[in-house]
Amino acid sequence: MDDQARIMQSIGGVSLAGHSVQGGMALPPPHGHDGTDGDGRKQDIGDILHQIMTITDQSLDEAQAKKHGLNCHRMKPALFSVLCEIKEKTGLSIRGAQEEDPPDPQLMRLDNMLLAEGVAGPEKGGGSAAAAAAAAASGGAADNSIEHSDYRAKLTQIRQIYHTELEKYEQACNEFTTHVMNLLREQSRTRPISPKEIERMVGIIHRKFSSIQMQLKQSTCEAVMILRSRFLDARRKRRNFSKQATEILNEYFYSHLSNPYPSEEAKEELAKKCSITVSQVGPERGSGGGGRCSMVSNWFGNKRIRYKKNIGKFQEEANLYAAKTAVNAAHAAAAAVQNSQANSPTTPNSGSSGSFSLPNSGDMFLSMQSLNGDSYQGAQVGANVQSQVDTLRHVISQTAGYNDALGGNPMYSQHNLNANGGWQDATTPSSVISPTEGPGSVHSDTSN
DNA sequence: GCGCATGATTTCGG
DNA sequence: CCGAAATCATGCGC
């Protein structure tokens, strides 16, 4: 209070010298009627300023009238510009003007993320495109389509909220800005406000508002992240493979016990057969499309390690699958023999391709593949089949007694594993081990 | 609820 | 980058 009064006084002391002479710099008193042109102008200014200073003492009506008078005064523009200039020079209003807003990195990050998540940016065909993309990414797996649609629904919800809020925000920002601009323009008639200052003020308002915008974007991002993590978590959830799938995998595993490293093609085949083509692979590893079979790879990885760790525990399973494979093979072999005999005794139906064609399902084909390796020379078919059948008979007869041998005399001995704990090389199928390594067959499922 | 089975992830070495 | 090994986390039968 006191300060203000003093300031007012000092201002008065400087500019209204004519009336309250306080300093040595006093202007000549108003009564200097003999004054020059300059004197007259000074007096004029003094008058105006005096009026300005005393305007608060007057009644409202009176003040309004005075104000109007002042507004129309011929000196007004000059005074106005001078005051503006002074203001500029004092730098009071320039403070912070230098902060030519460099695009806030955080805001940019948020923008990018929202764009990437499909929250900002163009609507993706009502979300169906996103769904299609998601479906494609998952290899068209049906089991998590529910999760996908759920995710999509939530995302569009977030998107909608975000957009309405953003709209609201923009509207509010614009309204407020125009309001302030109008106010300033209005005031600029009585107060020294340059257009530049208005511009700056608009800038300040926008900066303030952008923090609100940032909050909006941030919370939207958070919402998306939460949704995403939940979705991913859901996708990560372990789901046991179907019985059929494990059976297929086990079949392959035990029939390739000597070298249970399926090649890429084999993995793909297995994945297809097990309908576990879901690309669950976490960090998109490279570009070699290695993701699709990762579940198979996981399975084999786990299986190898667990089998090796406790071979005894897997004996039963091993024998079971050996028997299964053997039976399959026997059937296949029998069919093959029949087939070859029926067709032509000398050159079986292997034809020019050299591959063993089976009139059977993929299942059987797979087991035959595992039986004989990948290639099956036509010329050897007859002999192979014969010896194959022999081997199988042997295996089956042994398999029949596996119950007795459970503890002490494991059929599937750890001979498969070499001293280092690694898997033996595919060359030596020991006597009984697998019905898979028929005489004359070429082990070609080398994965490395 | 507990314990085992099992799919996934992480860590480490080559 | 792949596989082994360790570990985590969940599913599932009891």
User: Does residue A304 contact residue A346 with C-beta atoms inside 8 Å?
Assistant: no
Q: How far apart (Å, rounded) are the C-alpha atoms in residues A251 and A327?
A: 12
Confidence (pLDDT) at A261: 92
Distance, Å, A250 CA → C10 C1': 22
Percent helix, strand and coil across chain A, each rounded to 5?
Answer: 65, 0, 35
Confidence (pLDDT) at A181: 86
Mean pLDDT for all residues in chain A = 63
**pLDDT tens digits, one per residue of A338-359:** 665 555 444 433 333 333 333 3
Q: How far apart (Å, rounded) are the C-alpha atoms in residues A413 and A426?
A: 15
Tokens of A379: 């010329």
Q: How far apart (Å, rounded) are the C-alpha atoms in residues A45 and A14?
A: 12
Inform me whether the pLDDT recorded for A217 exceeds 80. yes
**Count of alpha carbons within 13 angstroms of residue A85, beta-carbon side:** 6
User: H helices of A188-259, where?
Assistant: 195-236, 243-255
Using a 7 A cutoff on CB, list residues near strand B. A 236, 238-241, 246, 280-283, 295, 298-299, 301-302, 306, 313
The arithmetic mean of pLDDT across residues A236-248, rounded, is: 82
Identify which has the larger pLDDT, A83 or A11.
Answer: A83
Confirm whether any atom of chain C, the nucleic acid strand, is less than 7 Å from CB of A347.
no
Confirm whether any atom of chain C, the nucleic acid strand, is less than 7 Å from CB of A33.
no
Q: What is the pTM of this model?
A: 0.44
Inform me whether the pLDDT recorded for A302 exceeds 90. yes
Length of chain A: 448
User: H helices of A118-194, where?
Assistant: 128-137, 145-187
Distance, Å, A322 CA → C6 C1': 30
Identify which has the larger pLDDT, A209 or A398.
Answer: A209
Q: Which nucleotides of C are covered by protein (CB under 7 A)?
A: 1-7, 9-12
Nearest to A151 by CA among A165, A166, A137, A170: A137
Distance, Å, A233 CA → B10 C1': 17
Distance, Å, A429 CA → C9 C1': 37
Confidence (pLDDT) at A94: 52
Confidence (pLDDT) at A23: 40
Distance, Å, A296 CA → B4 C1': 22
Q: How far apart (Å, rounded) are the C-alpha atoms in residues A5 and A2?
A: 5
Q: How far apart (Å, rounded) are the C-alpha atoms in residues A209 and A8?
A: 36
Inform me whether the pLDDT recorded for A438 exceeds 60. no
Specify the nucleotide whose C1' lies closest to residue A294 (CA): B8
Beta bridge partners of A416: none
Confirm whether any atom of chain C, the nucleic acid strand, is less than 7 Å from CB of A168.
no
Confidence (pLDDT) at A236: 58
The arithmetic mean of pLDDT across residues A48-68, rounded, is: 76
DSSP A246-288: HHHHHHHHHHTTTS----HHHHHHHHHHHT------SS--TTT
The pLDDT-based confidence of A130 (bands split at 50, 70, 90) is: very low
Confirm whether any atom of chain C, the nucleic acid strand, is less than 7 Å from CB of A151.
no
User: Rounded to whole angstroms, what are the CA distances from A9 to A6, A17, A18, A20, A128?
Assistant: 5, 11, 13, 9, 73
Confidence (pLDDT) at A273: 83
Specify the nucleotide whose C1' lies closest to residue A296 (CA): B7
Identify which has the larger pLDDT, A239 or A427.
Answer: A239
Alpha-carbon dihedral A294, A296, A302, A304, rounded to 10 degrees: -120
**pLDDT tens digits, one per residue of A315-328:** 888 888 888 877 77
Closest residue to B7 (CA, C1′): A238
User: Rounded to whole angstroms, what are the CA distances from A108 to A112, A164, A214, A215?
Assistant: 6, 20, 10, 13
Confidence (pLDDT) at A317: 84
Closest residue to B6 (CA, C1′): A240
The sign of the CA dihedral A403, A404, A407, A413 is: negative
Specify the nucleotide whose C1' lies closest to residue A314 (CA): B5
Q: What percent of chain A has pLDDT over 70?
A: 47
Backbone phi and psi for residue A423, each to the nearest 5 degrees, phi listed first: -85, 140
Identify which has the larger pLDDT, A76 or A2.
Answer: A76
Inform me whether the pLDDT recorded for A390 exceeds 60. no
User: Does residue A335 contact residue A327 with C-beta atoms inside 8 Å?
Assistant: no
Confidence (pLDDT) at A303: 92
**pLDDT tens digits, one per residue of A80-90:** 777 767 777 77
Identify which has the larger pLDDT, A302 or A94.
Answer: A302
Q: Which nucleotides of B are covered by protein (CB under 7 A)?
A: 5-10
The CA R_g of chain A, rounded to the nearest whole Å, is 45
Backbone phi and psi for residue A435, each to the nearest 5 degrees, phi listed first: -75, 0
Q: How far apart (Å, rounded) are the C-alpha atoms in residues A80 and A189?
A: 9
The arithmetic mean of pLDDT across residues A137-159, rounded, is: 59
Residues 220-279 of A with CB under 7 A from strand C: 233, 237-240, 261
Q: What percent of chain A has pLDDT over 90?
A: 3
Confirm whether any atom of chain C, the nucleic acid strand, is less than 7 Å from CB of A421.
yes
